[in-house]
A and B are shown apart, each in its own frame.
Chain A
Amino acid sequence: MRHSLREAFKRVGSFFRKDQLDQELNEEMASHLQMVVEENMRRHMTAEEARRQALVRFGGVQQALERHRESRGLPWLDVLMQDLRFTFRTLRRDAGFTIVAVLILALGIGANIAVFSVVNTILLRPLPFRDPQQLVRIVQKNPKAGESSRTYSADATQDFQQQNHSFQSVSGYFAFTGPDNFKLVGTAQPVPVTGILVAEGFFQTLGVEPSLGRLFRPEEFVKHSQPVALLSYPFWKRQLGGDRSIIGKAINLSNTSVIVVGVLPDTFDFGSVFSPGAKVDLFAPYIMDDFRDDGNDLALVGRLKQGVSLAEAQGEADQLFPQLYFEHKHPEYGKGYTGQLTGLKEYVSGKLRRSLIVLWCAVGLILLIVCVNLSNLLLARAAARIKEFAMRRALGARRGRLVRQLLTESLILAAVGAVLGLGLAYVILSYLAHQGSIALPLLTMVRVDGTVLEWTLLIAVGSAVLFGPAPGLRMSGGNLQEVLKDGGASGGRSHNRMRSTLVITEIALACVLLVGAGLLLRSFLRVLDIDLGFQPSRAGAISVDYDDGGNAAKRAAIWQEIVRQSSMIPGVEAAGISDKPMSRNRSWGIAAKGEEKRDDLGYLPVFVYIVSPGYLKAMGMRLMEGRDISWEDASNNRSVVIINETVARKLWSGQDPIGRIALTGGTEAQVIGVIADVRESSAEDNAGAQIDKCVYHTFALDPEIHRNAPTKPRIAFLKTKKCQHRPGRNRPGSFLAGLLFKSFR
């Protein structure tokens, strides 16, 4: 087969030396003919006759040249080049049509590429971990109120780790981390950073290897061991300038000296998998002994053993979890967990599957409409070109040749459209990937990759084949003579039928799309329409850091000063402080005093916010009854709470809750106000009524304040008068300088 390879090679070579080879052949044929003529003349023919005979025997110089070209070069490529040249010429002549067609295609194809990239990342591509199909997320069944009912206590986690036989390893992370829970203290201003506590073996379970340094060692998960941290790659690049010598050195985190043991790889993005929209800067060990008394706070992830199916593991989990105690120290708290095992990939993207597929179909429909539209445009153009094609057929072009020409045209249009579309998709995607406010999982990993390029090629060729040949089918029929005589009338009926079909198709597709989009928009509007109970559009948030030395009176003074100065910023209408952004929920119980032992009522699980005076106003929450917390409550350490309507209805139905004593956070507190229900977690989550039970404390009540630095109250909420006056822009004085402004929704 060596000679066929050699021949192919030579053919390609000949393709590029066409002129030279033609020239040589012409010379060769000329000398051939000359020899024949001379020979004939030697046979006493007249010069004229000799030449005629020679040409007869030779049989057509042009045909010989054609045959020579066919057997030496790449005839199909010749035809293609010819078609391409012709197409470019006609398209240039018809610039208006070309621009419109390419733009329509670019929009259709671009939308498809963008959506496919997202679908590819979220649904199709495996998670960026080793053997991701083995990874399982373990969550309690039927979660009732926020994270507390989805997570596990340190003791339960340890018991499950020891007793299960299905998992290679089980680990987890602390689920109650708010953003900016540490501050990085360096030479310059302190920087807020987000750190997540991870249990032993977390990275090993996921199969993440550090790009620098090492992972945590078992001895670092023991109480009073040297504090250590692993840095995320972007944080290391941004804050530490990618300094490789940082490994083994100490950094100052919230006034604690922490040794950096390693840097995680660029590919590991904790937020995009476990907490969409969040950015995590560093990781520290979750030391079990520090959290034994804290209840449920670990979100669990496990890696299945080789050959163990999810169902088998689920079976074992159903046996094990009900036997696990909440806390070993207090067996009287009881036992009985549940565990729902979900593949991590499924857990991350499962909820989105349906909406993404709907979106995928919608952009597919758009592309179909684009194709139908283009078919129509091409048909209109075909009417003008009908004579040209009739002429070509009369000159001997076969039907296939004409269709081929038309396909080349549509392929060129589609190709240019696809290139523009790729550019468009690239712009859209890089915008999306840097959009922190869109809480889609894995969004930061969305990009145009090989699969996406293949998809682009597929839809470009597909659409070209769809819209291209329509006019060809139409034109190749019909009576040549009549067309040549006068292009106008012939085939009018079939032409019309085809156009009607296209128009009907297009309207049908558009209707489907319109109805679909309408439905989507309706449910979206319904979400927007919900009375949130507060006004997110004009609220802003600043993360504040301060040192009160654990002194309540001092803290009250600091808070009052923060609120006073914040209120003075031009454009700020009201200011207040809370300990957590609204999306992070802590759930406690609350009970009416005297009723706490009742089985049917007892302690109600609620979300608790520690707030300063002015917070409710800053958030735009509506006080229905009673009064707001005052600075006197704060400085006098008076225990007061404000509850929302749902809590009031549950605990004191039919009675006036104001002035009543509630048991919560381990102490008694007087109810001083009732506010309208607030939907803070997610406007869609209204199915679980538990979400709506909220209680607002004075900070005097917060037992965490003294113990746990990361959760001390430090978020100031501002209400602005006008949207364009963003509070961070013109901050007065040194007091607020260096604070981080975060847009809040």
Chain B
Amino acid sequence: MGQSKLDLMQGTLDVMVLQTLEAMGPQHGYGVARRIEQVSGNEVLLNQGTIYASLVRLQQRGWIAAKWGTSDHNRKAKFYSITKSGQKQLVQDTAYWQRLAGVMGRVLAMQGEGDER
């Protein structure tokens, strides 16, 4: 079953979006979605449409801002960029996820070393 894609955990998509915008600067929805797919090596199960629920949520919390503009191929698109408070939030979230990942790593690396050996 190693072939199937990863289901996204609650809240992870928001962090990914923030990080993408932080790293790449202003992007439209498709840009963000494509970038996340690329970085994850296509391991994440992401319907591109779900990105918009995440974008509007972040926007309402004031962490990203949106503006209509034109894409590289001269197409009208909404461009999202991270705000000051979004950057602050990203720092917090990054720390949180790293701690969690570390803990998960340690817990899962645990072996029967305490057993009678």
A residues within 8 Å of B by Cβ?
3-4, 6-7, 10-11, 14, 24-25, 27-29, 31-32, 34-36, 38, 57-61, 63-64, 67-68, 70-72
Flag if A10 contacts B49 (CB, 8 Å). no
Closest CB-CB distance, A235 to chain B, in whole Å? 63
Q: Assess A71 versus B57: contact at CB under 8 Å? Given A28-B52, A35-B73, A38-B73.
A: yes
Given A32-B48, A34-B75, A59-B48, 9 more A-B residue pairs with CB atoms under 8 Å apart are A28-B78, A29-B52, A31-B77, A35-B30, A57-B48, A59-B47, A59-B49, A61-B49, A64-B53
Number of chain B interface residues as a range: 20 to 34
Flag if A67 contacts B52 (CB, 8 Å). yes
Closest CB-CB distance, A56 to chain B, in whole Å? 9
Measured CA separation A17–B101 after assembly (Å): 40
Which residues from B are CB-within-8-Å of A25?
52
Flag if B77 contacts A28 (CB, 8 Å). yes
Closest CB-CB distance, A392 to chain B, in whole Å? 26
Contact pick for B53, options A28, A35, A70, CB 8 Å: A70
Interface residues of B in 79-95 (CB under 8 A from A): 85, 89
Closest CB-CB distance, B71 to chain A, in whole Å? 7
Closest CB-CB distance, A207 to chain B, in whole Å? 55
Contact pick for B60, options A6, A29, A31, CB 8 Å: A6
Closest to B75 in A: A31
Which residues from B are CB-within-8-Å of A6?
60-62
Which residues from A are CB-within-8-Å of B73?
35, 38
Q: Assess A7 versus B29: contact at CB under 8 Å? Given A28-B77, A35-B73.
A: no
> What are 16 A-B pairs with beta-carbon distances under 8 A?
A3-B61, A3-B63, A4-B61, A28-B29, A28-B78, A29-B52, A31-B30, A31-B75, A35-B30, A35-B73, A35-B77, A36-B48, A58-B49, A64-B49, A67-B50, A68-B52
Contact pick for A7, options B61, B71, B77, CB 8 Å: B61
Which residues from B are CB-within-8-Å of A34?
75
Q: Assess A60 versus B61: contact at CB under 8 Å? Given A28-B77, A35-B77, A67-B53.
A: no
B104 on the interface (CB 8 Å rule)? no
Which residues from B are CB-within-8-Å of A61?
49
Measured CA separation A27–B68 after assembly (Å): 11
Closest CB-CB distance, B31 to chain A, in whole Å? 9
Flag if B49 contacts A29 (CB, 8 Å). yes
Contact pick for B85, options A3, A4, A64, CB 8 Å: A3
Measured CA separation A433–B85 after assembly (Å): 62
B56 on the interface (CB 8 Å rule)? yes
Measured CA separation A28–B77 after assembly (Å): 6
Flag if A32 contacts B29 (CB, 8 Å). yes
Closest to B48 in A: A58
Measured CA separation A61–B89 after assembly (Å): 30
Measured CA separation A61–B71 after assembly (Å): 21
Flag if A68 contacts B56 (CB, 8 Å). yes
Closest CB-CB distance, B20 to chain A, in whole Å? 15
Flag if A60 contacts B49 (CB, 8 Å). yes
Which residues from B are CB-within-8-Å of A14?
60
Closest to B86 in A: A3
Closest to B56 in A: A72
Measured CA separation A674–B39 after assembly (Å): 116
Contact pick for B71, options A35, A67, A72, CB 8 Å: A35
Q: Assess A59 versus B50: contact at CB under 8 Å? Given A32-B30, A35-B71, A72-B56.
A: yes
Closest CB-CB distance, B86 to chain A, in whole Å? 10
Flag if A68 contacts B53 (CB, 8 Å). yes
Measured CA separation A233–B29 after assembly (Å): 73
Which residues from A are CB-within-8-Å of B62?
3, 6
Which residues from A are CB-within-8-Å of B77?
28, 31-32, 35
Measured CA separation A59–B37 after assembly (Å): 14
Closest to B63 in A: A3
Flag if B52 contacts A64 (CB, 8 Å). yes
Contact pick for A31, options B49, B56, B76, B85, CB 8 Å: B76
Interface residues of B in 26-75 (CB under 8 A from A): 28-30, 47-50, 52-54, 56-57, 60-63, 71, 73, 75
Which residues from B are CB-within-8-Å of A29?
49, 52
Which residues from A are CB-within-8-Å of B57?
7, 71-72
Closest CB-CB distance, B7 to chain A, in whole Å? 13
Flag if A64 contacts B56 (CB, 8 Å). no
Contact pick for B76, options A7, A10, A27, A72, CB 8 Å: A27
Closest to A34 in B: B75
Closest CB-CB distance, A350 to chain B, in whole Å? 60
Measured CA separation A10–B50 after assembly (Å): 20
Closest CB-CB distance, A67 to chain B, in whole Å? 4
Flag if A58 contacts B47 (CB, 8 Å). yes
Closest CB-CB distance, A4 to chain B, in whole Å? 8
Flag if A72 contacts B29 (CB, 8 Å). no
Measured CA separation A229–B16 after assembly (Å): 84
Closest CB-CB distance, A19 to chain B, in whole Å? 15
